[in-house]
């Protein structure tokens, strides 16, 4: 294994019937000797030859890349094949993809989770394969799943390595067949060429011979100047089936003899069924079975409409607890009391400490305080949660759109007492994810229903009301600040206390040079379940910190862009992104009456994003006319795909900033559908301009980093236009209260 | 038993009359491109054409469209007379509109209906026609750009491309 740790390897071997298999893996449970036949059994079909754990070469010399991540719109089913194909010198026009089955050998987790290394990986080891795996483990500590992770980990480390390994193995096979040195053979557009002897042949001709050769221990990756596909905007592979209706989402699963189910869970999280009166429902046409799900009830019927109608006539009573009395106002009151108590009793949970924030505050010329609030938010993916399950022959098969298919497989196996190899997951297109489809609650319900009707496939689809009221929510948070300014208005002390901390750890940390900082948090649990929501903690903390720094600039009497800029002298990379956004937007340009600009920035998932908003407050309500977005993600694989992710992240964050508000009454979620959980639509969607900065720094994410800065950019613009500081989202809470300047 | 003309095929379906057209199209006719999003006509994912007019099939009882001509996402390519995709579908690819793609059948159906009515919509006409369709991935800018380029296509190259499909040549299919 040479320099490698015993946990990171490229495994290669011969397939039954010939052919070559190369796997890139990490983990104690996967041994090279076991990997080959296992993978071949799962992935090889027809006359395809499996050349690599992530790639197949077909007899017609076209290439199929096997992608172990879910497509939920982030373009990963295209970006990952691009990375592999580039390293392989493949002909992009012949590259297609298929999604990997939910099997441990495709587990993205296994790329990294068995390699535990605290701290940063030194840059010097990144060029080695061991280095890239160590780097993967570092990234894993930031986020275990989700779109921002796929390209950085699986792509950078798995796909590129696999593509390079496959290319080297094919070249070695050609060298043997042609009896020339491997160094004289070049790969181009899925062909191998030996220029001196004028010989050329397609990759496919060498697949079987390559299988008998030893795989490379350390394939050489390209440098960015050698990229041919990475860095180019290519058409996404998943778009054609999404314009003619043929793309298969979870709701589209159709199996012979399938029945349909509608469900309704307890409105108050944590309650369980006391009694079910289903007498009326059982007599309704098409109804097959009423199922007690313990935390709710389901109806299985011949058609989905019959199930939906019958469900409405099922009467259920649930257990009650103190949670049944909680309302949004009471919850924020509880947060505030718990925060007060933590400070009064010295029970602050330290998050980040530098210098002496409280001591310095006392010596400040000017003390600024503010309290901010954000509400719970639901994901509201366009496709409501759904799952089709079929219990038969001692096993369970499950069809759903899942962000974490392998974790779901383990969860179902444990929950229902199956061996894992008796649980088969068929993952399909996700009609939106945003973090929601990492959770196994809807697959669990699907299997509960299928268990009630063994041998018959059952398709369960949540109503939109169920989807909004049975979500796992972006945390509602209070965040309090105290800052001290010196006589020039420069901050010398920064204290921040907030409710609850999830991931990523650095979300509340500021990039600004303030010598004395005390950032701490207080737990204040409620019965409302937490779920990762696009950018997770960054979405709220960017609003808090970027609003408060804006407040400090106002108190100091300084321009908010230049105030930030001056505090970023030690962060030239961030400052460059901020400058780019300001320049794009023509910061300080003259604008119509009641128009203004707002600026904000946040680094998340290794990508720095700054945004400037042009806002029109002439109607008294915010109308975001244009968003200028500058982003440094190190290196962008597919520029148009990255721009689309920024656009998407901005609109997603704008919806939250303007309208997003999930509230509690008597312990239950009040909002139910798109009429009272409003979305940005075509008529209030801003123009968006995106500038990509390829700094060459380690690669950052794309799916999430566009979201965090938009809310503070909007509220900072509202302040600039009206003088009114928005400290509680959404802005719709404040309609009509703006004083026009 | 109800009779519908869906994508130029006469369909006879045994279904309760209050069943929304959405579920008839999806589960009885197996045309899965039309999506369920909200069930209360708030998101537009279920948009189909009834006699050329875009409607929300999730709130449309099948009994109310008996004998009418229904077009779903699977049926619009025919109207381009010979090309594989409708110009609007091609514009959606050219502008790389879809992300998750779940809402896009409904978006495309609304856009096709708009251009049939008004081949040269301005921004506010596009806003008015398209704001019933939610795209949670937020691809509104690309949708608007795609509609504009489809509009140009229609005017420049295919003046008849937006004509509604003819009622002649209807096939029969009995799902009863």
Q: Which of A512, A486, A488 is nearest to A496 (CA)?
A: A512
pLDDT of residue A6: 28
Average pLDDT over residues A540-566: 98
In a domain, B93, yes or no: yes
Token pair 């937006």 in the structure block, residue? B162
Residues present in chain B in total: 176
How far is residue A435's CA from residue A442's CA, in Å, rounded to a whole number? Answer: 14
Check if B25 contacts A (Cβ < 8 Å).
no
Distance between CA atoms of residues B116 and B165, nearest Å: 11
Question: What pLDDT, on a 0 to 100 scale, did the predictor assign at position A42?
Answer: 42
Same domain, B11 and B70: yes
- Phi first, then psi: what are they for B144, rounded to 5°? -65, -45
With respect to CATH, is domain A250-320+385-461 assigned 3.30.365.10? yes
Chain A residue numbers touching B40 (CB-CB < 8 A)? 464, 673-675
Fold type of domain A330-376+473-734: Aldehyde Oxidoreductase; domain 4 (3.30.365)
B166 in a domain, yes or no?
no
Rounded to an integer, what distance in angstroms lies between the CA atom of residue B105 and that of residue B31?
12
B82/B152 same-domain check: yes
Residue the block writes with tokens 């003259």: A590
Instruction: Name which of A74, A73, A72, A69 is nearest A98 in CA terms.
Output: A69
Among the candidates B16, B47, B75, a domain finishes at B75
CB atoms A383 and B101 under 8 Å: no
> Is B10 in the same domain as B30?
yes
Residue A69, SS3 per DSSP: coil
Please give the pLDDT value at position B156.
Answer: 60
Question: pLDDT tens, B47-78?
Answer: 999 999 999 999 999 999 999 999 999 999 86
- Domain shared by B32 and B59, yes or no: yes
Return all residues near A735 (Cβ < 8 A) that are at least 6 apart.
A620, A621
Preferred mutation among B99, B109, B130, B131 to probe A, highest tally of A CBs within 10 A: B99
Contact of A249 with chain B, judged by CB distance below 8 Å, is answered with yes
| Ranges A48-52, A467-471, A646-650: which has the least confidence | A48-52
One domain, residues B23 and B54: yes
Separation of first and last alpha carbons in chain B: 7
**Domain assignment present for B132:** yes
- Lowest mean pLDDT across A125-129, A424-428, A626-630: A125-129
- Give Cα separations from A311 to A263, A290, A456, A668, B38 (angstroms): 7, 9, 20, 19, 17
State the Cα angle at A637 between A632 and A639, rounded to 5°. Answer: 70
- CATH of segment(s) A8-227: 3.30.365.10
- The half-sphere exposure of B30 on its side-chain side, counting CA atoms within 13 A, is 7
Distances (CA, A) of A741 to A597, A618, A719: 14, 9, 10
Q: Write out pLDDT tens, residues B72-120.
A: 999 998 654 556 899 999 999 999 999 999 999 999 999 999 999 999 9
| Sheet strand arrangement including A687-693 | A595-604, A607-616, A623-632, A687-693
The pLDDT tens digits of the residues spanning A580-629 come to: 999 999 999 999 999 999 999 999 989 999 999 999 999 989 999 999 99
Same domain, B31 and B42: yes
Residue A26 has pLDDT above 60, yes or no: no
Kindly determine whether residue A73 and residue B32, on different chains, have CB atoms separated by under 8 Å.
no
Of the candidates A677, A673, A664, A537, the one whose C-alpha atom is nearest the C-alpha of residue A270 is: A664
Domain containing residue B102: CATH number:
1.10.150.120
CA atoms within 13 A on the CB side of A690: 24
Which residues in A593-650 belong to E strands, given as ranges?
A: 595-604, 607-616, 623-632
Report d(CA A729, CA A259) in Å as an integer: 43
Of A144-148, A183-187, A304-308, B153-157, the poorest mean pLDDT is in: A144-148
Q: How far is CA A648 from the centre of its chain?
A: 12
Contacts of A346 (CB under 8 A, 6+ apart): none
Are A250-320+385-461 and A330-376+473-734 the same fold in CATH? yes
CA A223 to chain centre: 27
How far apart, in whole angstroms, are the C-alpha atoms of residue A386 and residue A470? 12
- What residues pair up with A297 in beta bridges, in sequence order? A264, A292
Pair B69, B12 in one domain:
yes
Contact with chain B for residue A384, Cβ under 8 A: yes
CB count in 10 Å sphere of residue B84: 10
Instruction: Say if residue A405's pLDDT is above 60.
Output: yes
Of all residues in chain A, what percent carry a pLDDT higher than 70? 84
According to DSSP H, which parts of B67-119 are helical?
87-94, 104-117
pLDDT digit string, tens, across residues A488-538: 999 999 999 999 999 889 999 999 999 999 999 999 999 999 999 999 999
| Domain match, B16 and B67 both | yes
Residues B91 and B141 in one domain: yes
**What is the tally of helices (H) and strands (E) in chain B?**
5, 6
Compute the distance between CA of residue A644 and CA of residue B139 in angstroms, rounded to an integer: 8
Chain A residues in contact with B105 by the CB 8 A cut-off are 245
Please tell me if residue A647 touches chain B, with a CB cutoff of 8 Å. Answer: yes
Q: Which of residues 41-100 of B touch A (CB under 8 A)?
A: 42-43, 45, 72-74, 77, 85, 89, 92-93, 96-100
- Cβ atoms of A299 and A261 within 8 Å: the answer is yes
Task: Give the pLDDT band (50/70/90) at residue A218.
Answer: confident
B22 domain residue, yes or no: yes
* Total number of domains constituting chain B: 2
Would you kindly state where each structural domain of chain A is located, as residue ranges? 8-227, 250-320+385-461, 330-376+473-734
- pLDDT tens-digit series, residues B14-52: 999 999 999 999 999 999 999 999 999 999 999 999 999
Residues of the domain holding B142 = 77-156
Element (H, E) at A78: helix A76-88
Q: Phi and psi dihedrals of A25, rounded to 5?
A: -155, 165
State the Cα–Cα distance between residues A159 and A84, nearest whole angstrom.
5
For residues A597 and A581, what is the distance between their CA atoms, to the nearest angstrom?
Answer: 12
| In contact, B68 and B50? CB cutoff 8 Å | yes
Residues B66, B102 within the same domain: no
More confident residue, B162 or A258: A258
Q: Is A423 helix (H, G, I), strand (E, B) or coil?
A: strand
* Distance between CA atoms of residues A516 and A360, nearest Å: 7
**Domain membership flag for residue B171:** no
Q: What is the rounded average pLDDT for all residues in chain A?
A: 86
pLDDT band at residue A148 under the 50/70/90 scheme: low
Query: What are the backbone angles phi and psi of residue A326, rounded to the nearest 5°?
Result: -80, 135
Band (A135; pLDDT cuts 50, 70, 90): very low
B20, B131, B141 member nearest A647 (Cβ): B141
What pLDDT is attached to residue A408? 85
Q: What is the ipTM of this complex?
A: 0.92
**Rounded distance between C-alpha atoms, residue A78 and residue A229, angstroms:** 11
Q: How far apart are CA A528 and CA A321, in angstroms?
A: 13
Distance between CA atoms of residues B176 and B166, nearest Å: 26
Query: How sure is the predictor about A94, in pLDDT bands with cuts at 50, 70 and 90?
Result: very high
Rounded to whole angstroms, the Cα distance separating A456 from A405 reads: 22
Asked if B62 and B100 sit in the same domain, the reply is no
Q: How far is CA A514 from CA A116, A204, A356, A484, A657, in A?
A: 32, 60, 11, 10, 28
Pair B102, B151 in one domain: yes
Among B45, B75, B105, give the residue marking a domain's end. B75
Read off the CATH number of the domain in which B24 is found: 3.10.20.30
Q: State residue A698's pLDDT score.
A: 85
Chain-chain contact of A254 with B30 (C-beta, under 8 angstroms): yes
Residue A536 contacts B where some CB pair is shorter than 8 Å = no
Integer Rg of chain B from CA? 16
Domain boundary among B48, B75, B102: B75
Q: Give tens-digit pLDDT for A430-484.
A: 999 999 998 999 999 999 999 999 999 999 999 999 999 999 999 999 999 999 9
Task: Please tell me the number of Cα atoms within 13 Å of A131 on its side-chain side.
Answer: 12
């Amino acid at each position: 294994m040479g320099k490698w740790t015993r946990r990171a390897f490229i495994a290669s071997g011969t397939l039954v019937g010939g052919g070559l298999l190369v796997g890139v893996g990490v983990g104690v449970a996967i041994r090279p000797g076991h990997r080959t036949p296992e993978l071949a059994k799962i992935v090889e079909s027809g006359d395809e030859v499996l050349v690599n754990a992530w790639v197949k070469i077909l007899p017609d010399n076209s290439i199929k890349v096997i992608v172990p991540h879910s497509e939920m719109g982030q373009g990963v089913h295209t970006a990952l094949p691009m990375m592999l194909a580039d390293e392989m010198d493949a002909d992009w026009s012949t590259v297609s993809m298929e999604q990997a089955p939910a099997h441990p050998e495709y587990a993205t987790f296994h790329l990294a989770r068995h390699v535990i290394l605290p701290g940063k990986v030194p840059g010097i080891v990144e060029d080695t394969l061991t280095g890239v795996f160590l780097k993967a483990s570092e990234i894993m500590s930031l986020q275990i799943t989700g779109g921002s992770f796929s390209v950085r980990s699986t792509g950078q480390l798995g796909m590129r390595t696999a593509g390079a390994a496959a290319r080297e193995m094919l070249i070695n096979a050609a060298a043997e067949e042609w009896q020339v040195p491997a160094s004289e053979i070049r790969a181009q557009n899925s062909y191998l060429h030996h220029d001196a002897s004028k010989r050329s042949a397609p990759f496919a001709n060498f697949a079987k011979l390559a299988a008998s050769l030893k795989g490379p221990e350390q394939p050489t990756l390209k440098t960015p100047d050698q990229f041919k596909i990475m860095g180019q905007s290519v058409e996404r592979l998943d778009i054609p089936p999404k314009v003619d209706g043929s793309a298969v989402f979870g709701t589209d699963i159709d199996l012979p003899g399938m029945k349909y189910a509608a469900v309704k869970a307890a409105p108050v999280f944590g309650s369980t069924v006391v009694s079910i009166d289903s007498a009326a429902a059982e007599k309704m046409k098409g109804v097959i079975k009423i199922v007690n799900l313990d935390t709710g009830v389901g109806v299985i019927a011949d058609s989905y409409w019959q199930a939906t109608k019958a469900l409405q006539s099922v009467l259920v009573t649930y257990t009650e607890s103190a949670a049944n009395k909680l309302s949004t106002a009471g919850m924020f009151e509880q947060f505030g009391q718990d925060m007060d108590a933590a400070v009064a009793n010295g029970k602050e949970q330290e998050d980040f400490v530098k210098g002496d924030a409280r001591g310095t505050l006392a010596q400040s010329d000017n003390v600024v305080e503010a309290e901010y609030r954000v509400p719970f938010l639901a994901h509201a993916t366009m496709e409501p949660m759904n799952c089709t399950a079929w219990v038969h022959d001692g096993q369970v098969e499950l069809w759903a759109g899942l962000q974490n298919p392998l974790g779901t497989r383990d969860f179902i196996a444990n929950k229902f007492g199956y061996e894992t190899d008796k649980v088969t997951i068929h993952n399909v297109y996700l009609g939106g994810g945003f973090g929601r489809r990492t959770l196994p609650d809807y697959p669990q319900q699907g299997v509960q229903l299928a268990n009630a009707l063994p041998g018959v496939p059952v398709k369960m689809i949540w109503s939109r009301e169920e989807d909004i009221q049975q979500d796992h929510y972006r945390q509602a948070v209070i965040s309090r600040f105290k800052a001290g300014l010196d006589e020039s208005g420069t901050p010398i002390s920064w204290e921040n206390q907030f409710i609850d901390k999830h991931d990523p750890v650095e979300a509340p940390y500021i990039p600004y040079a303030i010598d004395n900082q005390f950032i701490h948090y207080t737990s204040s649990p409620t019965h409302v379940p937490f779920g990762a929501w696009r950018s997770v903690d960054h979405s709220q903390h960017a609003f808090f910190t970027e609003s408060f720094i804006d407040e400090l600039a106002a108190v100091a009497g300084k321009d908010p862009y230049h105030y930030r800029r001056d505090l970023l002298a030690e962060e030239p990379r961030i400052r460059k992104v901020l400058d780019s956004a300001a320049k794009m937007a023509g910061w300080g340009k003259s604008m119509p009456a009641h128009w203004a600009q707002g600026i904000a920035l946040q680094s998340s998932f290794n990508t720095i994003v700054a945004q400037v908003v042009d806002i029109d407050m002439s109607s008294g309500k915010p109308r975001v006319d244009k968003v200028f977005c500058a982003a440094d993600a190190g290196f962008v694989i597919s520029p148009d795909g990255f721009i689309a992710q920024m656009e998407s992240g901005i609109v997603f964050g704008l919806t939250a900033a303007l309208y997003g508000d999930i509230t509690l009454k008597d312990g239950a979620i009040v909002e139910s559908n798109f009429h009272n959980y409003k979305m940005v639509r075509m008529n209030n969607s801003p123009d968006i301009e995106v500038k990509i900065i390829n700094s060459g720094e380690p690669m950052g994410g794309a799916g999430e980093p566009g979201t965090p800065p938009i809310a503070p950019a909007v509220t900072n613009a509202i302040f600039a236009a009206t003088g009114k500081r928005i400290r509680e989202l959404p802005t719709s809470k404040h309609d009509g209260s703006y004083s026009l300047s | 038993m109800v009779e519908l003309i869906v994508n130029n095929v006469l369909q006879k379906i045994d279904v309760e009359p209050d069943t929304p057209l959405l579920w008839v199209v999806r589960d009885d006719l197996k045309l899965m491109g039309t999506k369920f999003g909200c069930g209360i006509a708030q998101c537009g994912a279920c948009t189909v054409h009834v006699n050329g007019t875009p409607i929300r099939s999730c709130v449309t009882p099948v009994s109310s469209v008996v004998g009418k001509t229904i077009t779903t996402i699977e049926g619009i390519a025919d109207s381009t007379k010979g090309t594989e995709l409708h110009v609007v579908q091609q514009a959606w690819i050219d502008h790389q509109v879809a992300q998750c793609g779940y809402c896009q059948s409904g978006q495309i159906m609304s856009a096709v209906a708009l251009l049939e009515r008004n081949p040269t919509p301005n921004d506010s006409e596009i806003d008015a026609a398209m704001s019933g369709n939610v795209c949670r991935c937020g691809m509104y800018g690309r949708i608007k750009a795609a509609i504009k380029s489809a509009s140009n296509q229609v005017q420049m190259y295919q003046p008849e491309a937006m004509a509604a499909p003819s009622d002649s040549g209807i096939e029969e299919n009995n799902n009863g």
